[in-house]
Amino acid sequence: SAVISQKPSRDICQRGTSLTIQCQVDSQVTMMFWYRQQPGQSLTLIATANQGSEATYESGFVIDKFPISRPNLTFSTLTVSNMSPEDSSIYLCSVVGQFEQYFGPGTRLTVT
């Protein structure tokens, strides 16, 4: 299994500002995933982050809005840029094991 930690656990931000979310895994992994979970909705994949290469973004998500870093095999950051109230959500970091997927505790973001 993998243990994943995220920082911050929650934050309240003003519109127009940016927030960087950190994700730390207790083992080396090739791919890390960033999800968004909006109230009452399912998890939506934002991007896949591979170490040493640019992240791959899903339809509807762009690098300028959600830049991702992956400096090593245990760490990644997701930045939510130029925030608006529509960005209020829970952001989750995830890794895939041999047969399952593990999630971090999430970062609850509120944009006012």
Partner 1 sequence: EDQVTQSPEALRLQEGESSSLNCSYTVSGLRGLFWYRQDPGKGPEFLFTLYSAGEEKEKERLKATLTKKESFLHITAPKPEDSATYLCAVQPNTGNQFYFGTGTSLTVIP
The identity of residue 24, as a single letter, is Q
State yes or no: residue 99 binds partner 1 (CB under 8 A): yes
Q: Is the distance from CB of 37 to CB of 89 less than 8 angstroms?
A: yes
Shortest Cβ 106–partner 1 spacing (Å): 5
State yes or no: residue 16 binds partner 1 (CB under 8 A): no
Cα separation, 2 vs 60, whole angstroms:
29
State yes or no: residue 73 binds partner 1 (CB under 8 A): no
Interface with partner 1 (CB under 8 A), residue from 22, 24, 67, 108? 108
State yes or no: residue 7 binds partner 1 (CB under 8 A): no
Which residue, 9 or 84, has its beta carbon nearer to partner 1? 9
State yes or no: residue 106 binds partner 1 (CB under 8 A): yes
Cα separation, 14 vs 2, whole angstroms:
33
State yes or no: residue 103 binds partner 1 (CB under 8 A): yes
- Helix (H) or strand (E) segment spanning residue 90: strand 89-96
Question: Any residues with CB less than 8 A from the CB of 41 and at least 6 apart, and which?
Answer: none
